[in-house]
A and B are shown apart, each in its own frame.
Chain A
Amino acid sequence: MDIKETQLCAWHQHHGATMAEFGGYRMPLWYKSGPIKEHRAVVTAAGLFDTSHMAQILVEGPNAEELVQRSLTKDLGTCIARQHPLEPGRATYGFLLNDSGHVIDDAIVMMEETERYLLVVNAGMGATVTKHLLHLGEDLDVTVSDLTDRLSKLDLQGPASGKILQKILQPTSKLKAPFPYFSFAGHYDHLQRGVKSTRGFSVMVSRTGYTGEFGFELFVRPQDFASLWQQILDAGEEFGLLPCGLGARDSLRTGAMLPLSHQDIGDWPCVNHPWSFALPWKGGKFTKSFVGDQALLAAQPTEPHTLAFLGENGRKVEAGAEVILSGEPIGTVLTCATDMAIDLVDGEVVSLASPNAPASFAPRGLSCGFIRVNHALSVGESLILKDKRREIPVRVVTDIRPHRTARMAWPL
């Protein structure tokens, strides 16, 4: 298969990026400043990611809601705080499963209007998910379009993102307060929706991301993308913004307990994992029916468990390493990364963003990630992860990087 390039490929290479193939695209792993500084910039200041390799799918028509409800694990009827239904300008996160309850992909679903939903899925998945939705919606009055090549996205992430965003948007732009996590405003090709760059083009601004930190995903037409990228870099310089590659994106999302599709979730029944908030559980049942629901209900008791772990230092093992409990192999490592913004202080995990971080805090990083094991384990349980090179002691945890900013109140 030909490797695709994003519009910014030449920019990345000109700025010293180490490039690698990911999801069918040639993407930056890190720039000259290196992945450690990039990771820390997102926790303490801001980082900018080219995420135009990701795919977007538009579902519209009288039965658009019905198709999303059939295909997505999250219940649109109850997915907002206090069990409220999704409304225009709000987004939610869920899985797309097959009949066996295995993950095809995960998606952020953005409700643009009553009969119009935008799904953001992973790189290279536009065609697969579009085909899946068309098949599921054969009996419905709905259209499904792959917008992947008609829409570009970048991620501005980190606590300084709000100040940077305000510099690049026209003051009249309508980001009504409060603008909570998983809400969005504006549109990628309708100027009348009222969110515009100071350079005149329209932007859709969404308070979402893949780092666990405060920030935005910005959607624009491809012809405006390079301009927006440069505009944000210029505006962010005074705040310590760094362009960031997929290396930092992976370590940040791991520390934030977010799964990577086709690695931490994938071709196995989607149960017994840290992301049950994406399934419509209520009192041991599902609040709606969806593709794969019966398989999940049947699989529940016996399926392997996916759990998060935290190491004692920066030592990592390779994905696929063995998980050992009391000398017995019980599973494999799905993801192992080092969160370079955290370390142990008197046995407690502390982040660069923690209010209780010591004045001279210089974290050396902790290994962390996800394992898939053949039975449930208690929080705090000690395990050994073993690859061909080394064995590292880790413990089972329910959270990794503390004091993440994704949900902070904004605008202040």
Chain B
Amino acid sequence: MQVPQDLKYTDSHEWVRVEGNLLRVGITEFAQSQLADLTFVDLPGVGDDVDAGDEVAVVESVKAASDVYAPVAGKIVEVNEALISAPEAINNDPFGDGWLFVIEPADAADVNALMDAAAYKGIIPDE
């Protein structure tokens, strides 16, 4: 199971990539593997103000719908519209084309409170 070293993680299985003063967010390979084939994605609105832990997106598989949470407080500045017609990108490339949204954090320091790759590996089951 891939857990890229350069990303931060939440215990609800989102990954966060720091890109300048913005954070790109998706769900981890482990999360997508638990959901199986994704069939639908509900994205947040660009411009939405969110708090850390808010339900901001829904990823839906053949099996179930699951919430995706904002990893930090801030404003949604971009969403991955391509997922609307091709949600399978999350299954195929969870850390790349399968990104969900970009958030401008209210406090750039908040990202430091998230898990690093080693800590995240500790909370997912061994293969």
Contacts and interface: CB of A to CB of B under 8 A. Distances in A.
Nearest to A20: B63
Interface of A: 18, 29-30, 34-37, 247, 251, 313-316, 318, 337-338, 340, 362, 364-365, 389-390
A323 B63 CA distance: 21
Interface string B61-74: 01111010000000
Nearest to A39: B62
B18 to A, nearest CB: 30
B58 interface: yes
Given A36-B62, A247-B63, A314 B36 contact: no
Contact of A338 (B39, B42, B67, B88): B39
Q: Is the interface of A mostly helix, strand, loop or mixed?
A: loop
B36 A389 contact: no
Contacts, number: 55
Number of chain B interface residues as a range? 10 to 19
A194 B92 CA distance: 48
A315 B85 CA distance: 13
B62 A251 contact: yes
Contacts of B67: 389
A389 B37 contact: no
A34 B60 CA distance: 14
Interface string B45-66: 0000000000100101011110
Contacts of A29: 36, 63
Given A389-B58, A390-B42, A34 B65 contact: no
22 contacts: A30-B62, A35-B37, A35-B62, A36-B37, A36-B39, A36-B88, A247-B36, A247-B62, A251-B62, A315-B40, A315-B65, A318-B65, A338-B40, A338-B62, A340-B39, A340-B62, A365-B39, A389-B55, A389-B58, A390-B42, A390-B58, A390-B65
